[in-house]
C-alpha cells in the first residue's frame, strides 16, 4: 500500500470518529456514543468501515437502537459498507465515560458516576453524590431506579432539587 493510500485510510478513520461524536445516546441525548465510551475501535475496510461497540450492560434496551443509529449515520454520510461488531469483552464500565461526557451529564442535570466507586461500594458504604445543580454533597437516595435502569433518583438536601445519578457499573 502506498504512503498516500495509507494516509487516506487513516483520515477516513479519523473522520468516522468525528461523525460518531454526533451520534447521540437515545436515553441521554446530551451524550454521544463516543462520550459514553462504548465505541471501542474503528477500522477502515476496502469498501467501508468496521465499528466495534460495547453495550453498556447486558440487556440494555438501547443497545440495538444505538447500533442502528451508528450504522444509519455512517451510511447517510456516504460510507459504502458499515460492519458493526458487538464487543463484550472486556465489559464496558462507567470509567469509560469521557471527561467531556461527565461534564455534559453534569450540565444536563445528571450526576456523573463517582470516580473510584465500585457497585459493591455503592450498595454498602456509599460515597456522597454531589448535586449537579449546586454541588452540595448532602444528597439523599430517593430510589435505586431512575428513568432508565442505569440511573438512580436522588434529591439535594440543600437546594431541594431532584436529580438523577448515573450508576457506577
Pairing between β-strand 110-111 and β-strand 39-45 as defined by DSSP bridges? unpaired
Whether omega for the bond prior to residue 118 falls within 30 degrees of 0, making it cis, is: no
Q: Pick the residue with more confidence: 133 or 126? A: 133
By the 8 A CB rule, do 74 and 51 touch?
yes
The CATH H-level (homologous superfamily) assignment of domain 3-92 is Fe-S cluster assembly (FSCA) (3.30.300.130)
Is residue 3 predicted with pLDDT exceeding 60?
no
Q: Cα separation of 54 and 35, whole Å?
A: 13
- Write the CA distances from 126 to 64, 80, 84, 106, 140, integer angstroms: 33, 49, 38, 20, 11
pLDDT at 1: 47
pLDDT above 60 for 11? no
User: If pLDDT is split at 50, 70 and 90, which confidence band does 2 have?
Assistant: very low
Q: Of residues 169 and 73, which shows the higher confidence score? A: 73
User: Can you give the residue ranges of every domain in the chain?
Assistant: 3-92, 110-166
Cα 157 from Cα 140, distance rounded (Å):
7
Residue appearing with cell numbers 504512503: 3
Amino acid at each position: 500500500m502506498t504512503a498516500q493510500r495509507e494516509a487516506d485510510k487513516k483520515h477516513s478513520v479519523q473522520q468516522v470518529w468525528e461523525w460518531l461524536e454526533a451520534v447521540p445516546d437515545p436515553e441521554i441525548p446530551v451524550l454521544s456514543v463516543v462520550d459514553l465510551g462504548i465505541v471501542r475501535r474503528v477500522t477502515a475496510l476496502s469498501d467501508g468501515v468496521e465499528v466495534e461497540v460495547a453495550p453498556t450492560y447486558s440487556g440494555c434496551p438501547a443497545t440495538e437502537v444505538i447500533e442502528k443509529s451508528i450504522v444509519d449515520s455512517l451510511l447517510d454520510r456516504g460510507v459504502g459498507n458499515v460492519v458493526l461488531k458487538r464487543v463484550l469483552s472486556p465489559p464496558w464500565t462507567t470509567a469509560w465515560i469521557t471527561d467531556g461526557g461527565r461534564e455534559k451529564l453534569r450540565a444536563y442535570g445528571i450526576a456523573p458516576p463517582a470516580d473510584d466507586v465500585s457497585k459493591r461500594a455503592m450498595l454498602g458504604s456509599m460515597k456522597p453524590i454531589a448535586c449537579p445543580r449546586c454541588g452540595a454533597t448532602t444528597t439523599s437516595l430517593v430510589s435505586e431506579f431512575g428513568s432508565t435502569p442505569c440511573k438512580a433518583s436522588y434529591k439535594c438536601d440543600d437546594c431541594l432539587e431532584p436529580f438523577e445519578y448515573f450508576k457506577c457499573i
